[in-house]
Chains A and B, each alone.
Chain A
Amino acid sequence: MIKEYKTIKEIASPLMIVEHVEGVTYDELGEIELPNGEIRRCKVLEVEGDRAVVQLFEAAQGINLAASKVRFLGHPQQLAVSGDMLGRVFNGMGNPIDGGPAILAEDHRDINGLPMNPAARAYPAEFIQTGVSTIDGLNTLVRGQKLPIFSGSGLPHAALAAQIARQARVLGDDETFAVVFAAIGITFEESEYFINDFRRTGAIDRTVVFSNLANDPAVERISTPRMALTAAEYLAFDKGMQVLVILTDITNYAEALREISAAKKEVPGRRGYPGYLYTDLATLYERAGRRQGKKGSITMIPILTMPEDDKTHPIPDLTGYITEGQIILSRELHRKGIVPPVDVLPSLSRLKDKGIGVGKTREDHAGTMNQLFAAYSRGKDAKELMTILGEAALSDDDKLFAKFADEFEKRYVSQGNTTNRSIEETLNIGWELLSILPKRELKRIKPEFIEKYLPEK
């Protein structure tokens, strides 16, 4: 028998204090019944004696302290999971909003998940071909990786994420895949862009959407990515699917977290974000991965917009410390009309070394990758020098490097959002570009590969 309390003492959205409670536990889910019968949900943040501090998941509007009833349900927030979730659209709290029937639950899962035992993880090592040269060739994505896109306001991260979702596949493999898409506080238009793209390509039947839009309650945003990841874990590790999770936008998530932290009057860390932002983000990101003896995997592409394009802002900074690399978009390249405007130098995939080479991509991949990075970096330095001192100040070699940098951006990076390049095409374009440079500068590539792959001038 669940007790009902009519002892709400205080509401300061999103927090509420209920008194004279009994047997209430930390992190328990609760329901508030308004006088008009409407039900809203909340969870316990702190309990001291007979007093519980509760966080509302929805707006506090219209709650009457005297007439509303609170029930505690005895379990943390859960998501009803089932294979039928594919092709459906849910709101940020996990309720269907596509007009379809309720999900017949095969299981109820705690949305917070459990930490994965490091001894049970399988190391991600299978190359995913995204068809995007800057990713496949230079910042290779592997199955089970978490690779965020660091973007800025007004940059086309949605187009790149949709392109990856559309084109990504594992070579020589036809396992079942699924996409879990979580819209966290983004606009209707941006959300529709993704959903339309999934619809256009037919991927919608294999997609689960969790949608918390900009005008939905901010506190719900804490739950939305956890709902999505709970669904993803179920599909990957119970149903054996290869799941790609897209979370957009993590910046909105972190802001919702800050809002609640401020309401709780916690000691703020950098820029007012709570001191536990790192740990909190880690409990999301670390749910990506593969497990030993399990067929499925969760590959995660979180998207975040860097405030003021600042990579050292706490959100991108802490994300970068947890995720296995990052793809950074550049406003400068965007202005130049480079599509997708991936800034390859600060971009990184930490897991690339295990996913490339003989039997995965091609033997020359590692060497050419390092050479392209080094050459582009030197070329950019040379161009910088050129703008200050004029072309005459450059040595002959540096002129070639400057030319290389331009060609690299034009041909390698700028491929458009519809071109789907195979890894061989990507590697071959790389070799064509390297042929601009003097052969003695190609120190990072083994001589036998230069012999084999470098095109004659």
Chain B
Amino acid sequence: MSGKITKVSGPLVVAEGLADANVSDVVRVGASRLIGEILNMTGDQASIQVYEETSGLGPGAEVVTTGMPMSVELGPGMLDNIYDGIQRPLPEMRALTGDSITRGTDVPALNRDKKWDFVAVAKPGDKLSAGDVVGTVQETSAILHKIMVPPGLSGEIKSVQSGSFTVTDTVAVLVDNKGKEHELSLMQRWPVRIARPYARKYVPSRPMNSGQRIIDTLFPLAKGGTAAVPGPFGSGKTVVQHQLAKWSDVDIVIYIGCGERGNEMTDVLMEFPELKDPRNGEPLMKRTVLIANTSDMPVAAREASIYTGITIAEYFRDMGYDVAVLADSTSRWAEALREMSGRLEEMPGEEGYPAYLASRLSQFYERAGVVECLGSDERRGSVTAIGAVSPPGGDISEPVSQATMRIVKVFWALDSSLAYARHFPAINWLTSYSLYVDTLAPWYTEQFGESYMKNRERAMHILQEEAELQEIVRLVGQDALSAEDRLTMETAKMIREDFLQQNAFVDEDAYSSYLKQFRLLDMVLKYDVLCREALGKGADMNALFAIDSREKIGRAKMADPNAFGDAYDAIEKQMKAEIEEVTAGGEDA
């Protein structure tokens, strides 16, 4: 079925003669067979968004529908790979067309020639339903890829064989209850705009360990939860996203570079193969899928990229894995939506964004969650969604930030004034929040005892108090404060500098285990308690602030991640002795 173009305006093409095509079908446009998707239909006229540059297209050129919605290929070969927004593998495109992305390049997402070692788990005669595991492929050293019965299919296995297969070879034959045979291969397809089915959904209850102190201790995220990282440019959004991609204790990471810098993707591509997962020692790239639709690549494919990413995430979730999706940045995605909406001459909502912006955003975030997967073994998997937001001028009153805040449960607000003072990660402790604190508290208590959450509360309280005291200092100077208040400010400074600040570029500090976080904060709070006692006994405040162990506390975060316990014990001992000495001196005088 083919039609003819009647209008070309940037990425929007209108074609007639497509009465047989469906809304959301993928079409091929023009002689160079550019990839597009049907947005609207009027009679036999279709409005098409084209995922590639439309320069050189004109009226009369042919448009052919594929009869299929925008889909991704799911199977072995996605990990350790980098795709564009519509799942074309970038390294293979480079081999085919050189350093630049040329148009109409047709490369299958999964390599058709590569053979995988398939190990059958099911036996002939087994009755399987959708989601049941037929067999496995060791895709990378880190990840066992489970080959599942696709959604909507069930029946009895007629034949299944282990061995070496390409993604399109038949590995098993399934007979459904009507007696129809279905050939199963290592690969399945799924339309990106439809969420993959699961058995049931649960409320998230386990934290996602990120190794970042301000996140894990103050504003934790749950596995299967949603978070947003808003911030003006230069406040370190991308570094936060990279840190999460590196250190999160999930099985799979999907990193979507949506309308961002090309060099950032290159950075990930070069750095991740070198970095080792702290939990199993495998290179991080072996658990990572990259989706790169950089800012100079066609804008329509940017719109598709986050759906491509989250669909791949759901597929790995269905195997029972914990998956994190990092989208940098959802604002660029929203802008792509706005651009297409403008070309369609739709009535604009706030700031030119289409009226359906909020519903599209919530559809994306709602695909996160902890689920019981399809299949009879009741395995559980999760998708955690973390989106960066780039508000214009850093002002979060704009529509994308506001629509995001209504959906997500964790909000890490980046602050440019912290970034200017090189306080990184520049997450503002007063404006950020996590709604998972209460649901996760039992987990923390079970693992580390009551004091973990008590310390957290105490630290938050001190930081809050500091903000109020600073107001006073700004008006009347710090001499007006009592010694106790001065101590509060001093402790707050220690929490900020010695605990919250974390250097992503220093190996010892980039990842902090829960225990190290706990000990570090505990040490600072012990200092506070001891000094408060000493002040009560009349000790000299300035002498307390100047004890030698303070410098050691300041450097404590740089301690060896595997052997900090003894060092921290020693610092605490010295601190105690020094404070006692100062107190004794005060009593003498």
* Interface presence of A177 (CB below 8 A): no
Whether A373 lies near B263 (C-beta < 8 A) is: no
**Stretch from B57-65, B134-142, B450-458 contacting the other chain:** B57-65
Interface 0/1 of A37-62, CB less than 8 Å to B: 00000000111111000000000000
Whether A283 lies near B94 (C-beta < 8 A) is: no
Question: Which residues of B lie under 8 Å from residue A122 when comparing CB positions?
Answer: 266
Q: How far is the CA of A292 from the CA of B263 in the complex (A)?
A: 12
* Interface presence of A282 (CB below 8 A): yes
Contact of A48 among B6, B393, B479 (CB under 8 A): B6
Whether B56 lies near A373 (C-beta < 8 A) is: no
* Interface presence of A443 (CB below 8 A): yes
Question: Which residues of B lie under 8 Å from residue A237 when comparing CB positions?
Answer: 99
Interface 0/1 of B546-561, CB less than 8 Å to A: 1000110011000000
* Interface presence of A389 (CB below 8 A): yes
Closest chain-A Cβ to B586's Cβ sits at a distance in Å of 19
* Interface presence of A115 (CB below 8 A): yes
Q: How far is the CA of A27 from the CA of B423 in the complex (A)?
A: 47
Question: Which residues of B lie under 8 Å from residue A345 when comparing CB positions?
Answer: 420-421
Closest chain-A Cβ to B419's Cβ sits at a distance in Å of 8
Contact of A47 among B7, B238, B266, B423 (CB under 8 A): B7
* B102, closest chain A residue (CB): A114
Question: Which residues of A lie under 8 Å from residue B56 when comparing CB positions?
Answer: 25-28, 76
Whether A321 lies near B416 (C-beta < 8 A) is: no
Whether A443 lies near B554 (C-beta < 8 A) is: yes
Whether B394 lies near A389 (C-beta < 8 A) is: no
Question: Which residues of B lie under 8 Å from residue A275 when comparing CB positions?
Answer: 335, 338-339, 342, 352
* A271, closest chain B residue (CB): B392
Q: How far is the CA of A279 from the CA of B261 in the complex (A)?
A: 11
* Interface presence of B296 (CB below 8 A): yes
Whether B90 lies near A267 (C-beta < 8 A) is: no
Whether B294 lies near A267 (C-beta < 8 A) is: no
Interface 0/1 of A421-457, CB less than 8 Å to B: 0000000000000000000100100010000000000
* Interface presence of B530 (CB below 8 A): no
Question: Which residues of A lie under 8 Å from residue B233 when comparing CB positions?
Answer: 317, 320-321, 326
* A23, closest chain B residue (CB): B58
Question: Which residues of B lie under 8 Å from residue A167 when comparing CB positions?
Answer: none
Interface 0/1 of B37-69, CB less than 8 Å to A: 000000000000000011111111000000000
Q: How large is the interface on A (under 10, 10 to 19, 20 to 34, 35 or more residues)?
A: 35 or more
Whether A286 lies near B294 (C-beta < 8 A) is: yes
Whether B266 lies near A278 (C-beta < 8 A) is: no
Question: Which residues of B lie under 8 Å from residue A283 when comparing CB positions?
Answer: 295-296
Q: How far is the CA of A124 from the CA of B335 in the complex (A)?
A: 28
Whether A324 lies near B261 (C-beta < 8 A) is: yes
Whether A443 lies near B497 (C-beta < 8 A) is: yes
* Interface presence of B478 (CB below 8 A): yes
Question: Which residues of B lie under 8 Å from residue A215 when comparing CB positions?
Answer: none
**Stretch from A187-195, A247-255, A332-340, A346-354 contacting the other chain:** A346-354
Interface 0/1 of B481-524, CB less than 8 Å to A: 00000000000000001100001010000000000000000000
Whether A25 lies near B58 (C-beta < 8 A) is: yes
On whether A76 and B100 interact (CB within 8 A), knowing A119-B82, A266-B342, A267-B342, the answer reads no
Q: How large is the interface on B (under 10, 10 to 19, 20 to 34, 35 or more residues)?
A: 35 or more
* Interface presence of B281 (CB below 8 A): no
Question: Which residues of A lie under 8 Å from residue B335 when comparing CB positions?
Answer: 275-276, 278-279
Whether A114 lies near B263 (C-beta < 8 A) is: no
Whether A267 lies near B421 (C-beta < 8 A) is: no
Question: Which residues of A lie under 8 Å from residue B423 when comparing CB positions?
Answer: 374
On whether A282 and B551 interact (CB within 8 A), knowing A116-B262, A118-B262, the answer reads no
On whether A440 and B550 interact (CB within 8 A), knowing A26-B8, A321-B233, the answer reads yes
Whether B59 lies near A115 (C-beta < 8 A) is: no
* Interface presence of B445 (CB below 8 A): no
Q: How far is the CA of A212 from the CA of B473 in the complex (A)?
A: 53
Whether B477 lies near A26 (C-beta < 8 A) is: no
Whether A312 lies near B393 (C-beta < 8 A) is: yes
* Interface presence of A198 (CB below 8 A): no
Given contact pairs A48-B59, A115-B297, enumerate 17 new A-B contacts (beta carbons under 8 Å): A24-B58, A24-B59, A46-B7, A46-B9, A118-B292, A123-B263, A268-B352, A275-B352, A278-B259, A278-B332, A282-B259, A289-B262, A314-B392, A317-B392, A345-B420, A348-B419, A440-B550
Q: List 8 A-B contacts (CB under 8 A).
A: A45-B9, A47-B58, A48-B9, A48-B59, A114-B100, A278-B295, A385-B474, A443-B498
CB within 8 Å of B: which residues of A?
23-28, 45-50, 76, 110, 112-124, 144, 237, 266-270, 275-276, 278-279, 282-283, 285-287, 289, 291-292, 294, 311-314, 317-318, 320-322, 324-326, 345-346, 348, 350-351, 353-354, 366, 370, 373-374, 377-378, 385, 388-389, 392-393, 395, 440, 443, 447
CB within 8 Å of A: which residues of B?
6-10, 14, 53-60, 82, 90-91, 93-94, 98-102, 232-234, 238, 257, 259, 261-263, 265-267, 269-270, 292, 294-299, 332, 335-336, 338-339, 342, 348, 351-352, 390, 392-395, 416, 419-423, 473-474, 476-479, 497-498, 503, 505, 546, 550-551, 554-555
